[in-house]
Amino acid sequence: EVQLVESGGGLVQPGGSLRLSCAASGFIFSNYDMNWVRQAPGKGLEWVSEVSGSGGTTYYADSVKGRFTISRDNSKNTLYLQMNSLRAEDTAVYFCATGPTNWGQGTLVTVSS
Amino acid sequence: DIVMTQIPLSSVVTLGQPASISCRSSQSLVHSDGTTYLSWLQQRPGQPPRLLIYKVSNRFSGVPDRFSGSGAGTDFTLKISRVEAEDVGVYYCTQTTQLPYTFGQGTKLEIK
């Protein structure tokens, strides 16, 4: 059974940093591109970033480009999202996902003073 | 970016009656490999999204056959043949043909 478990969310001040993790199991992790998708409170879904299976190629939404960094450790079956220079508008539940197919439960990031 | 537009944004349906959601993309979702990467997701209250339909019309594992998807090019439809109480939630179409991947605004389905 595919499992994706996010962690690392929390309350952070504007301008601060946070690193999210997503532990994957139940599939060959290195074979899959991985994504982060976020959902602001009461709002819809927004794609954030994607990393290729090897980790060598990354893509970002314009809203996070230059501030967020996606990475993965295939030896640990773990996906990461390093978030710097956080803003109030980054407040959201962050999901890791294998494309549209499998989703984690999400981790809440709140950016507030 | 490809804009995904869903209609309606809200729907109230009587138990056992059909429901239909339309999704239109601002450009063709046919990939250079010939595949149309249009999916439908269901998000129940307090839950993460769940894949229902992929590549326009393929039901994901475990999805009841009352859910069906159709369409081509830029116009797509999700149909529920007979709505059940557990179908309450928000439904999203999403395209993974072209980066950045984009989602429709969501359609909230309620039961009467």
Tokens of residue B26, six digits: 């601002």
Tokens of residue A35, six digits: 């994504």
Mean pLDDT along residues A65-69: 98
- Which chain A residue shows the shortest CA-CA distance from B107? A44
CA atoms of B10 and B3, how far apart (whole Å): 19
Residues of B in contact with A48 (CB under 8 A): none
By three-state DSSP, how is residue B72 classified? Answer: strand
Residues of A in contact with B100 (CB under 8 A): 47, 59, 61-62
Cβ–Cβ below 8 Å for A101 and B51: yes
Mean pLDDT along residues B78-104: 98
CA atoms of B13 and B34, how far apart (whole Å): 36
- Which chain B residue shows the shortest CA-CA distance from A35? B101
* pLDDT at site A55: 95
Mean pLDDT along residues A101-110: 98
Tokens of residue B25, six digits: 């993309």
CA atoms of A74 and A108, how far apart (whole Å): 24
CA atoms of A27 and A25, how far apart (whole Å): 6
Residue-wise pLDDT tens digits, B27-74: 999 999 999 999 999 999 999 999 999 999 999 999 999 999 999 999
| Confidence label for A57 from pLDDT (cuts 50, 70 and 90) | very high
Chain B contact for A27, CB < 8 A? no
CA atoms of B105 and B41, how far apart (whole Å): 12
- Which chain A residue shows the shortest CA-CA distance from B37? A100
Q: What is the DSSP string of B14-57?
A: -TTS-EEEEEEESS--B-TTS-B-EEEEEE-TTS--EEEEETTT
Cα dist from B3 to A61, A70, B12, whole Å: 14, 24, 25
- What phi, psi does B95 have (nearest 5°)? -115, 135
